[in-house]
């Protein structure tokens, strides 16, 4: 079941923010497929996505390898900015051509 | 943890937390009933010993068929986290009693790191309850040999019988409590992977 809201901005019990559900959706893979690739139970993916479980270093590296991204792009101790904002940089309202205020 | 039990060939969905909690309540109600019957009907120490043995094996059976953990079948995967031996595949399949046919695949027996953490936490919680039971047994036994004899008006046989029953309770809790705690605490399982919306 996918998370409603913004999972990358929920730390849950682990105190870690993560982008797993975003990355998974981006690549169009199910929890089961990701779990099989990492040799873990698919429920654990749900716990990770909700931030209710902080992974071991081994699992974090496994995720990093799977998504071909550095660990800090997947996990953070602070809330993530939306990916689009991070990629295209922060825009002030004055820079926005569609802002007619 | 597994999402369903297969009893007598029928799958029983236990992926929802409230269903698992009902199962836990039923298991402990059955054990309480067995203990109450034992306390009521056992008139001599030897009767108590024989009855305790029956209750012990009854608990092992419940653990084997329903709870798991210290068995290969049941809802909880084996705590040992090792692949089952070849010989562990057979006996109850003809009666369809086995909760789930054991295949030697990873997902059938292997607990991942989160499940191992859950297992260890459940044992920590269960340990505290079992320790309290042990303290009560020790206190009861101390009373019977203490020169002060705080409970003089209590016949010594009743104190001994109570201590024996408490010891049995401790044994039953050590067999079943970690699994019951896991079944009680784990939230609803996610939807089946095929329904996963990414």
pLDDT tens digits, A42-71: 889 989 998 889 999 999 999 999 999 999
Q: What H or E segment, with its residue span, contains residue B11? A: strand B10-13
pLDDT tens digits, B59-103: 999 999 999 898 878 899 999 888 877 655 555 555 555 555 555
The verdict on residue A47 lying in a domain is yes
Q: Which residues of A touch B81 (CB under 8 A)?
A: none
- Rounded to a whole number of angstroms, the distance from the CA of B6 to the nearest CA of chain A is 20
CB burial string B77-108: b at 16+ within 10 A, e below = bbbeeeeeeeeeeeeeeeeebbbbebeeeeeb
**For chain B, what are the domain ranges?**
4-190
Whether B197 and chain A come into contact, CB under 8 Å, resolves to yes
Q: Which residues of B touch A47 (CB under 8 A)?
A: 114
Chains A and B form CB pairs within 8 A to the count of 51
Q: Residue B191: its pLDDT value, please?
A: 55
Domain region containing A23: 7-88
Closest-CA residue of A relative to B108 is: A41
- Rounded to a whole number of angstroms, the distance from the CA of A57 to the nearest CA of chain B is 11
Complete DSSP assignment for B43-76: -SHHHHHHHHHHHHHHHHHHIIIIIBSSSSSSSB
The CA-CA-CA angle for residues A72, A73, A77, to 5°, reads 50
Question: In CATH, what number is assigned to the domain containing residue A73?
Answer: 1.10.260.40
Nearest-angstrom CA–CA distance, B74 and B172: 17
Closest-CA residue of A relative to B114 is: A44
Total count of domains within chain A: 1
Question: How far lies B28's CA from each of A65, B22, B62, B147, in Å?
Answer: 46, 10, 10, 37
| Partner-chain contact A59 B196, CB within 8 Å | no
The verdict on residue A100 lying in a domain is no
Q: Residue B158: its pLDDT value, please?
A: 81
The single-letter DSSP state of residue A49 is H
Nearest-angstrom CA–CA distance, A51 and A10: 6
CB burial string B37-46: b at 16+ within 10 A, e below = ebeeebeeee
Neighbours of B174 (CB within 10 A): 17
Query: Residue B178 phi/psi, 5° resolution?
Result: -55, -45
- Rounded to a whole number of angstroms, the distance from the CA of B1 to the nearest CA of chain A is 9
Answer for the pair B27, B179: CB distance below 8 angstroms, yes or no. Answer: no
If you count them, how many residues does chain A have?
A: 101
* Low-confidence residues in chain A, pLDDT < 50: 1-6
The verdict on residue A55 lying in a domain is yes
Q: Which residues of A touch B113 (CB under 8 A)?
A: 40, 44, 55-56, 58-59
Q: Residue A2: its pLDDT value, please?
A: 41
| Partner-chain contact A2 B114, CB within 8 Å | no
Closest-CA residue of A relative to B196 is: A1
In this complex, the residue of A28, A31, A59 whose CB is nearest that of residue B113 is A59
| Partner-chain contact A43 B197, CB within 8 Å | no
Interface predicted TM-score of the whole assembly (ipTM), two decimals: 0.73
Residues 6+ apart with CB under 8 A from A3: A10, A21, A49, A50
Give pairs for B7-16: CB < 8 Å, separation 24+: B7/B65, B7/B96, B7/B97, B7/B99, B8/B96, B8/B97, B9/B96, B14/B75, B15/B188, B15/B189, B16/B188, B16/B189
3-state secondary structure of A84: helix
| Partner-chain contact B196 A1, CB within 8 Å | yes
Q: Which residues of B touch A1 (CB under 8 A)?
A: 190-191, 195-197
Q: What H or E segment, with its residue span, contains residue B17? A: helix B17-41
Kindly tell me if the per-residue pLDDT of B128 is higher than 80: yes
DSSP percent split of chain A into helix, strand, coil, nearest 5: 50, 5, 45
- Rounded to a whole number of angstroms, the distance from the CA of B8 to the nearest CA of chain A is 26
Bridge partners, B95 (sequence order)? none
pLDDT tens digits, B138-158: 988 887 776 666 566 677 778
Residues 6+ apart with CB under 8 A from B116: B81
3-state secondary structure of A36: helix
| Partner-chain contact A1 B114, CB within 8 Å | no
Tokens of A62: 């496994």
Using pLDDT thresholds of 50, 70 and 90, give the confidence band for residue B193.
Answer: very low
């Amino acid at each position: 079941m996918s998370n409603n809201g913004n999972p990358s901005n929920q730390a849950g019990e682990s105190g870690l923010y993560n982008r797993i559900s975003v990355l998974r959706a981006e690549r169009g893979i199910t929890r089961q497929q990701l779990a099989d690739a990492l040799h873990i139970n698919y429920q654990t993916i749900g716990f990770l996505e909700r931030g209710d479980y902080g992974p071991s270093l081994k699992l974090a590296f496994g995720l990093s390898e799977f998504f071909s991204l550095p660990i800090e792009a997947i996990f953070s101790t602070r809330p993530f900015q939306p990916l689009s904002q991070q990629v295209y940089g922060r825009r002030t309202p004055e820079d926005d051509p569609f802002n007619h205020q | 943890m597994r999402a369903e039990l297969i009893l007598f060939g029928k799958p029983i969905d236990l992926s929802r937390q409230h269903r698992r909690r009902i199962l836990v309540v039923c298991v402990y109600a059955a054990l309480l009933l067995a203990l109450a019957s034992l306390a009521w009907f056992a008139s001599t120490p030897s009767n108590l010993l024989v009855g305790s043995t029956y209750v012990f094996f009854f608990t092992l059976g419940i653990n084997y068929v329903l709870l798991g953990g210290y068995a290969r079948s049941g809802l909880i995967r084996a705590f040992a986290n090792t692949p089952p031996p070849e010989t562990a595949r057979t006996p109850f399949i003809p009666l369809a009693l086995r909760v789930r046919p054991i295949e030697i695949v990873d997902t059938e027996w292997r607990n991942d790191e989160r499940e191992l953490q859950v297992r260890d936490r459940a044992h920590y919680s269960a340990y505290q309850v079992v320790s309290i039971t042990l303290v009560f047994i020790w206190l009861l036994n101390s009373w019977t040999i203490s020169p002060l004899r705080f409970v003089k008006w209590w016949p010594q046989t009743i104190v001994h019988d109570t201590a024996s029953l408490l010891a049995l309770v401790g044994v039953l809790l050590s067999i079943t409590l970690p699994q019951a705690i896991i079944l009680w605490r784990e939230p609803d399982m996610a939807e089946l992977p095929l329904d996963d919306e990414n």
